[in-house]
Amino acid sequence: MNPDTRLEFPIDEVPKNGTMYSINDEIHWVRMPLPMSLNHINLWLIGSKNDATLVDTGMFLDDVKSAWTDLISKEKINIKKLIVTHMHPDHIGLAGWFVKKFNVPLCMSRTDYLQCKVLAADTGEYVPHEAINFYKQAGLSESQIKNYIERFGFFGSIIHKLPDAYNRIKDGDVILIDDDEWECIEGRGHTMEHICLLSRAKKILISGDQILPKITSHVGVFPTEPNANPLEDWLESCKKLIEVVPRDVLVLPAHGRPFLGAHKRLNTIIKHHEESLDKLEEFLSEPKRSVDVFSVLFRREIDDSNRLMATGESIAHLNCLIERGLVKKNITDETAYYERV
Ligand SMILES: [Zn+2]
Ligand SMILES: [Zn+2]
């Protein structure tokens, strides 16, 4: 690896799933399991653990709930405030449970709160024909679409019912936690309104999924907004974070280990996507479907477990090239073909 892009990982200790490691008296690192190849999420308790603000919750799954129950009693954790960085189930899954258990408000961005409510309401509902057309146009086969229909509504099943009211946090807000100021910084592209928390005094950034040290965050298009351009939002957000976040913060990410080198990582992510866009544009000298471009964008194998994610990410790159005026889309026989202009 180019030494200029190398990150530093200053904390040797990594808590096992279901346990907590105190980085210092005021920052406690909790890890909870995820039932996927990405097998963990990091959650953060700020302040004294007996009077803490919790950032993100883990998924609404029995083993996560019982791990939390054990940890809360073992470490005598009390929670006075809950902040959720964004609406993905690994982050928000147990929010409703915590709100009930500790009688605390849920603080999160407005767009992600509302989006989460809409998506959770799909559970048990019919599959809209717009969604089926979206994946048909992308080039998924009959059996792959059947697979999608069978799994439709899964999102709501891994989220505890959300509270019916919440406290809005937004870009530029300053949250006081035990007299320390934490700035809210909005990022877009991974979700519509993801919130990172920055303490300039402590030189700490709780980054959620907005900056991850090893993996690239999912940036995808979904059937509800087929012409969205989340990748340009994502690239703009990465550039904004370089401007706003000091170079020397310790980044506490939701997945992976705490690291130094926020700007290096953001620059690497921008470069990675720009290179992918260049390769993709090059590849589209002949008309291709979304599913035909996987090999250009992904090194990992695409199978039933990740095909929908890969399709959404491919369309995100294709839509970005369309918006930049470099690629055009034609629909023939219910299938979308993309070609360089
Ligand atoms: Zn996420
Ligand atoms: Zn995540």
Question: Which class does domain 3-123+152-276 fall in?
Answer: alpha beta
Predicted confidence band of residue 125 (pLDDT cuts 50, 70, 90):
confident
Residue 89: name the closest of 36, 149, 131 by CA: 36
Report how far ligand 2's centroid is from the alpha carbon of 147 (Å).
24
Report how far ligand 2's centroid is from the alpha carbon of 207 (Å).
10
Take residue 3 and report the two structure tokens written for it.
């030494």
For the chain, which residues make up each domain, given as ranges?
A: 3-123+152-276
Q: What is the number of other CB atoms lying within 10 angstroms of the CB of residue 334?
A: 8
Take residue 42 and report the two structure tokens written for it.
């990091």
16-52 pLDDT tens trace: 999 999 999 999 999 999 998 899 999 999 999 999 9
Alpha carbons 92 and 208: distance in angstroms, whole number: 11
Residue 336 and residue 137 in contact, taking contact as beta carbons nearer than 8 Å? yes
Q: Could you write out the DSSP letters of every residue in 227-292?
A: T--HHHHHHHHHHHHHHHS-TTPEEEESSS--EE-HHHHHHHHHHHHHHHHHHHHHHTTS-B-GGG
247-289 pLDDT tens trace: 999 999 999 999 999 999 999 999 999 999 999 999 999 999 9
Report how far ligand 2's centroid is from the alpha carbon of 333 (Å).
37
Can you say whether residue 248 is alpha, beta or left, with left for phi > 0 and alpha for psi between -120 and 50 degrees?
alpha
Report how far ligand 2's centroid is from the alpha carbon of 218 (Å).
9
Alpha carbons 191 and 283: distance in angstroms, whole number: 28
Q: What is the pTM of this model?
A: 0.95
Report how far ligand 1's centroid is from the alpha carbon of 209 (Å).
5
93-111 pLDDT tens trace: 999 999 999 999 999 999 9
Percent of the chain at pLDDT > 70 equals: 99
Report how far ligand 1's centroid is from the alpha carbon of 85 (Å).
9
pLDDT surpasses 60 at 1? no
